[in-house]
Amino acid sequence: MHYSDYLQLDKILNAQQPEGERLGEPAHDEMLFIVIHQAYELWFRQLLFEVESVVGIFGQPTLNDNSPELQTIVHRLSRCATILKVLVHQIDIMETMTPMDFLDFRDKLRPASGFQSVQFKLLEARLGLKYEHRYGQQYYLSQLRQPEVDRIKSAESAPTLLELVNKWLERMPSVWTGADGPGKTGRPGTAVHANGDGWFEDYRQRYQQSLADAERGNLEYFDAVFSGRTPSSPSDKTQSPSSGRTPSSGEPQAQPSRSLSPLACRSALFIMLYRGYPLLQLPFQVLHQLLEIDEQLSTWRYRHMSMVSRVIGSRIGTGGSTGKDYLSSALDRHHLFREIAALTSFLIERRRLPALNVEMESRLGFVVAG
């Protein structure tokens, strides 16, 4: 096996065909533009490969929360977050191209656009972004070829990472029992913790006592998240729960919906609160890496928006989108794991946490001497 044959370098290194050179109007920075976008697509391919592997593990009928499989999930999600950091830093290279450098070849690209990246749309879909929550639905599939549309619709119809995480949190056997799971019975719509009846009510009271006067509205938000109602942000009652901002007039509006069930939210909250216990350390890392992925995607969107504003100002994108305005709205709307991030609003200090009994501590991995 030869190095260049293994990597198929003949194909890769001859895949840069600047349009300016073909038309007899070469632009020096067009080569940089092509190479960076090809590098993005290669990394998108790797991200899809990693995400599909994680989806496959989560999709199993059972998953041991203290198993090598969960360690594999954490490792691969961490790799995805690291790759996304690289994608953010690639914008530093792109920004060495000045607005005038870009104008030398920009018009030759029409109507090609990064909005036509099928792999990025597939990645968003497999992570859990639903069509009804997308901004710019009128553009979403309009510029794609039919085989590409078919691929994306197929990806959207399959179980997503977010949906499988929700099921995983719901079925965690070592945490919740009662009305929403096997074991003890409780009042309808409430959860009874394995540590004893009334744990959740006890925690709610402690949370209420921890609130400052200006935060009293958080208790209503708390009850909404951990019941069957759709919560709205306690900081701005006028915001759409699915978008996190006040919708603009004329924009298609998705009905508020939840990705995480009340039971899944309770399990995730418990993991965050008691993550120091051995059995909860890997589950906490899963949640942490999902939030890291969301943060890096948001950072990439923000840097991309800032770069576009710097390079083309208020002009429309080559694919016909509204340019910076579209990117800004997508940044606000396309948070994949918003509901997990929102659970930090319900944490209290460690010293105020309800103590776990000996049986529960043993189940979570600490052996308590009798």
The full set of domains in the chain, from first to last, is: 3-238+258-363 (1.20.58.480)
CA neighbor of 159 nearest in space, from 128, 119, 122: 128
Average confidence (pLDDT) over 246-256: 40
Q: Any idea which of 188-202, 217-231, 250-264 has the lowest mean pLDDT?
A: 188-202
Q: Would you state the pLDDT for residue 212?
A: 92
Q: Which of 35, 36, 37, 31 is nearest to 19 (CA)?
A: 31
* Number of neighbouring beta carbons within 10 Å of residue 46: 12
- How many angstroms from the chain centroid is the CA of residue 74? 15
Please give the pLDDT value at position 253: 40
Model confidence pTM above 0.85: no
**Rounded Cα distance, 25 and 151, in Å:** 36
Q: With beta carbons less than 8 A apart as the criterion, state whether 308 and 327 touch.
A: yes
Q: Examine the pLDDT at 217 and tell me if it is beyond 90.
A: no
Helix or strand (DSSP H, E) at 193 = strand 192-193
DSSP character at residue 169: H
Determine whether 335 is exposed, middle or buried from the number of CB atoms within 10 Å of its CB (0-12, 13-18, 19+): buried
Residue 104's alpha-carbon distances to 18, 34, 256, in angstroms, are 12, 14, 44
pLDDT for residue 246: 37
pLDDT digits (tens, 9 = 90+) for 89-115: 999 999 999 989 999 998 888 777 777
Cα separation, 299 vs 45, in Å, equals 20
**Secondary structure of residue 106 in the 3-state scheme:** helix
Q: What is the pLDDT averaged over residues 296-321?
A: 74
pLDDT single digits (tens) 137-160: 656 676 778 898 899 889 989 999
pLDDT tens sequence across 48-66? 999 999 999 999 988 887 7
- What is the average per-residue pLDDT within 258-278? 92
What is the overall mean pLDDT for the chain? 81
CA distance 45 to 42: 5
Q: Half-sphere exposure of 327 toward its Cβ, with a 13 Å CA cutoff?
A: 26
Which residue matches tokens 């309009």? Answer: 142
Q: What percent of the chain has pLDDT over 90?
A: 51
Which residues, in sequence order, are bridge partners of residue 177?
192
Of 81, 4, 99, which Cα lies nearest the Cα of 292?
Answer: 81
Say if residue 183's pLDDT is above 60. Answer: no
